[in-house]
Amino acid sequence: MNGSLSNILNFINMAVLASAPLLLATLGEILTEKSGNLNLGVEGMMFMGAISSLGAAYGYEQAVMAAGGTPSALVATIIAALAAAAAGGFGALIYAFLVITLRANQNVTGLTLTIFGTGFANFFGELIGKQAGGFVQVSAPTKAMFSNIDFGSLSRIPVLGSLLFSYNWMVYFGLLVMAVMAWFLSKSRRGLNLRAVGENPATADAAGVNVTLYKYTATVVGGALCGLGGMFISMSSTACAGVWVHDCVNGYGWLAVALVIFAMWSPARAWLCGLVFGGLLVVRNYFPIPGLPMQIYSMFPYIATILVLVFASVRQVKEHAQPASCGLNYFREER
């Protein structure tokens, strides 16, 4: 394999890995917005999932070793995933209670959740790090659970092996969630009910759909997916890899919010859009332009975000538009 082709394949591999947390968070926000809730707290929920997963896995390992046993990497991974989903879901539950039950402003509540989640993660990350003697780090076997899966001979197929069979389990999990969500929203009865709630909750309510239950469920499950996206960053990304890094999420949540618009609220398009943004995040490592400062490369995803938002506001297609009631609280007595 020549150097140019190898460089392109490595770039695609890293773009896919960089897109994985974006995909999970984007899918979570799509599900939330399909219910009519605009949750701008994606960044905060990702932070909560990131620290909770790392802290839970680290705490489990320390407890087992203190008892004289050997921690199981598989159990540590399962605990980390459950903790991440629970933390993200809990943050979303707080949001849901405030906007659905108490009818608080959705934008303000989402922004507050981002501030809370960021502070929560950085505070406990530093606290656990000091108690651990400087920094939090999971064991090497647990780190290995988030490394690329060896598919044997499939991984060694020229070109295709590198493109399709050289990622960790969270990449494939994200693709599975995307497929299930696409089917759920377009083919299942409950999915169609959820879309009806997002478009016109009063009509859905009159048809016998439990609007409150659908909004709560979609928002909390969406938050759990955002938490898992945060776990990917703290446990699997090259910048962290099982070590707590201050401000590790670093804007991924806001990129996910923009990707929802870029994907036009479609789970099937979310992965492709995430891959584009993932490529923009890592392109500087593979295709540097002589004389161009590295800081400019860091701006690429955010420049793309601005362009996406401008394009979406100018070219509005009804069938690919935001759910009609998104951002508006529903009060049954007003219908």
pTM score, whole prediction: 0.93
**Contacts (Cβ under 8 Å, ≥6 apart) of 329:** 99, 100, 103, 104, 106
Number of folded domains that form the chain: 1
Task: Report pLDDT digits (tens) over 318-332.
Answer: 556 788 899 889 887
Contacts 24+ apart (CB under 8 A), 175-183: 175/23, 175/271, 177/24, 177/27, 177/225, 178/23, 178/27, 178/267, 178/268, 178/270, 178/271, 181/27, 181/30, 181/31, 181/267, 182/266, 182/267, 182/268
CATH of residue 16's domain is: 1.10.3470
Distance of CA 1 to the CA centre of its chain: 34
User: Given pLDDT bands bounded at 50, 70 and 90, which one contains residue 335?
Assistant: low
User: Given pLDDT bands bounded at 50, 70 and 90, which one contains residue 238?
Assistant: low
**Over the chain, what is the mean pLDDT?**
89
Q: Provide the residue range defining the domain that includes 102.
A: 3-334
Q: Rounded distance, CA 335 to CA 332, Å?
A: 6
